[in-house]
Chains A and B, each alone.
Chain A
Amino acid sequence: MAYKPKAGATMSTPNVVPMTDVMLVLLIIMMVITPMLQKGVTVDMARVSNPRKMPSANKTNAILISITRDGGIYFRTTKIPENEVTSRVRDAIKDRLNKEVFIKSDARAKYGSVVTVVDDVRAAGVEKLGLLTEKLTKPQPGPPTLGGG
């Protein structure tokens, strides 16, 4: 069936085993790195139709405050009580020009808990906020629909 060249049989197929090894290693590296790249805690973010790209939220020194659905507040990845937000943020922006704070709130978190955090962040002297969201693929008019709820 197969076309058999006259040349030596050892060269008939390329040796793919080393390539497989390299790929496996690459795959494992990527699998390890991927969960590490995520900043903050995992929340189900609100979906909006035209968010702005915020690459600076991905920097390691970005100030990211996450608010979970039950109102828990996380500074980067550590859970903190609400009355510590101001001091934490103040410490973090102390020697910084770009005083931008990112807030990553769950779509179903009460807006009241978001506003408390915003108030605390404001008390630390921050003016610019980034509310992290996800891109909505199909824009729809009317009030937001929450998946599964």
Chain B
Amino acid sequence: MAMEVGESKGAMKDPNVVPLIDVLLVLIIIFMAITPMIPQGLDAQVPQPAPPNQKQQQQLNERTVVVQVAQDGSLKINQTAVSWTELGPRLLDIFKVRAPGDRVAFIKGASNVQFAYVAKAIDIMHESDVEKVGLLTKKVEEGQ
């Protein structure tokens, strides 16, 4: 079967391809591991304007929890300042007494703050029992 060219030195007849195969196998395995990366992310809601016949806005307002990320990266829950480490426990405290369907919080960020800060805050919120995180935007606030 094998084609044999030249009869000079038996040891040099064909190149040793076994190391090559080893390298290729490793490369294939690396590529296979990289390929099926499932994207990951954080869920967020954008509140849509309520239909005009709904009248529960007023009641919602007192209970609304808004987490604010200021320009310097500091945090506030409604009007009280909290540190990054306190945010989780404080939210847990607030939402402990709420029914599971009612655990909604909003997040608002200064426009100069980097997205990573807001993402981290949303992450902490998800971690501390907040089921739905709403993004407060300028138009959302105006619309209400």
List residues of A whose CB falls within 8 A of some B CB.
Answer: 10, 15-17, 19-20, 23-24, 26-27, 30-31, 33-34, 37, 39, 46-55, 57-58, 67, 102, 105-115, 118-119, 121-123, 125-135, 141-144, 146
10 new A-B contacts at CB < 8 Å, known A27-B24, A108-B115, A127-B45: A20-B17, A20-B24, A48-B122, A49-B127, A50-B126, A51-B40, A107-B115, A111-B69, A118-B135, A144-B116
Alpha-carbon distance A102/B40, docked complex (angstroms): 11
The bracket for how many chain B residues form the interface is: 35 or more
Chain B: minimal CB distance from A72 (Å): 14
Nearest-CB residue, chain B, relative to A106 = B115
Is the pair B111, A134 in contact by a Cβ cutoff of 8 Å? no
Write out, one digit per residue, whether chain B residues 118-136 have a CB within 8 A of any chain A CB (1) or not (0): 1110110011000000010
Subset of 18 A-B contacts with CB under 8 Å: A23-B21, A48-B119, A50-B126, A51-B42, A54-B40, A57-B39, A108-B116, A109-B115, A110-B111, A115-B111, A122-B46, A126-B46, A129-B135, A130-B44, A131-B122, A132-B40, A133-B41, A144-B116
